[in-house]
Amino acid sequence: MSQQDWHLISSYAGILILATFSVYAGSFGSLKAPRSAKGKKDSGDDDSEQEDEEVPERVTTSEALLFPILGSITLFGLYLIVKFLGVEWINWLLGWYFAFVGIISVWKCSISIAVTLLGKGYWRSFKIRKLELPKFIDPKGTSVVSMRTPSIVLLFPSLIPSILYSYQTGPKKSALITDILALSFAHNSLSLIKLDRFQTGIILLSGLFLYDIWWVFGTEVMVTVGTSLDAPIKILWPKSYLFSIERGFTMLGLGDIVVPGLFISLALRFDLNNSAHKTPNKPFIKPYFISAIIAYVVGLSTTIVVMSVFKAAQPALLYLSPACILSFLITAYSRNELNVAWEWDDNDAKPAEEKEPVKDICDLDSNESVVLAEADPLDEEYIVRNRLHLN
């Protein structure tokens, strides 16, 4: 193979690793059951466990059916703007919007990384700070945000990527800054947006499978918009094993990370519930998640190979959607769980008042498996106050 081939292979490998890691990390981030979505706290809870967290957004079957329609309207609207009004002002507008949203997104990712590195036990040892919102946000001054001291400190370095992104000049933004913002968007999307059932996931993947085929093969719309907009809605990797930017970049849209990632994270949550129900005293096994991650790697690798052979842009969901769906069906059938998995509902979506509070939870060491005491084995609420054996 020529040196040019090795440059491309290294670029494709970089994109593949970056995308897979993003899906993997985001899936585990979705295991968190936000405290604000819960009912009454245990009477033994103290101030150290009362940090504010966000309530996840649920995607239902009816909403999944609308995704291709709404996506098509948005995509075609952007195409018309690019074709007839030019890309300069829309890139300027999107740049400032994503820079602002990126501050919050990078901040939340920084907190997640800090919690992972320090451990939940040590993280909870930090003091909770209660901050009043500014008057222009809450004129009455009645709203209070609770967060730990490191969370406040991490806000300041989280400003840096957005500041650098906003004030960069030239036709193109820095690939590194774009990747930092894009990966933070992907991680937060997977952590906070949850499919309610596998049926919903299959409908979503199937609908966007057709959406991708039409807009890539049927028209020039997808390619035109994707290559014209300079916004952190894609990940980039240099087409050089020396990371030289003169050769250009390989890119992958965030949709090809987030959409399959939503399905894969649902598989991980099903594994968690399955493990808690069937083998509560054993390590947390993840057959659906592992098969889905493998399917994602195979699907994305197939996209890259086909693109290289035919020298043309390929809709990644053309390969990722069937791969993820088949991984679920094959795993469920081989484990004689097809009916159970098909009817399973990620019941964390229930309102707080419908859920019974957890009565007692064992305090586990990090090398122990999950043990459930006097709690519904299909209720994810118990994971919040335990450190899971995730290996």
What is the pLDDT confidence band of residue 52, given thresholds at 50, 70 and 90? low
Give CA–CA dist 230/168, Å, rounded: 12
**Any bridge partners for residue 251, and if so which?**
236
Residue 207: pLDDT over 90: yes
Residue 174: pLDDT over 80: yes
What is the average pLDDT score of the chain? 81
Residues 6 or more apart in contact with residue 190 via CB below 8 angstroms: 22, 23, 26, 27, 29, 30, 258, 261, 262, 265
Give CA–CA dist 12/28, Å, rounded: 25
Are 284 and 272 in contact by the 8 Å Cβ rule? The answer is yes
- Residue in the structure block whose two tokens are 């989280």: 158
Which is more confident, 7 or 321? 321
Are 303 and 198 in contact by the 8 Å Cβ rule? The answer is no
Active site residues: 212, 256
Give the pLDDT confidence score for residue 101 in this predicted structure: 93
Residue 388: pLDDT over 70: no
Query: What is the full DSSP assignment across 29-55?
Result: HTT---GGGS-SPPTT--GGG----PP
- Secondary structure E strands in 161-203: 193-195
Are 229 and 82 in contact by the 8 Å Cβ rule? The answer is yes
Give the pLDDT confidence score for residue 369 in this predicted structure: 40
Least trusted range by pLDDT, from 53-62, 131-140, 277-286, 328-337: 131-140
How many angstroms separate the Cα of 89 from the Cα of each of 94, 162, 279, 354?
A: 9, 18, 56, 48
- Count CA atoms closer than 13 A to 382's CA, side-chain side: 26
Give CA–CA dist 12/252, Å, rounded: 10
> What share of the chain in percent tops pLDDT 90?
45
pTM above 0.75, yes or no: yes
Give CA–CA dist 308/77, Å, rounded: 30
Helix, strand, coil percent values for the chain (each to nearest 5): 60, 10, 30
Neighbour tally for 68: CB within 10 Å: 20
Distance of CA 141 to the CA centre of its chain: 33
What is the pLDDT confidence band of residue 80, given thresholds at 50, 70 and 90? very high
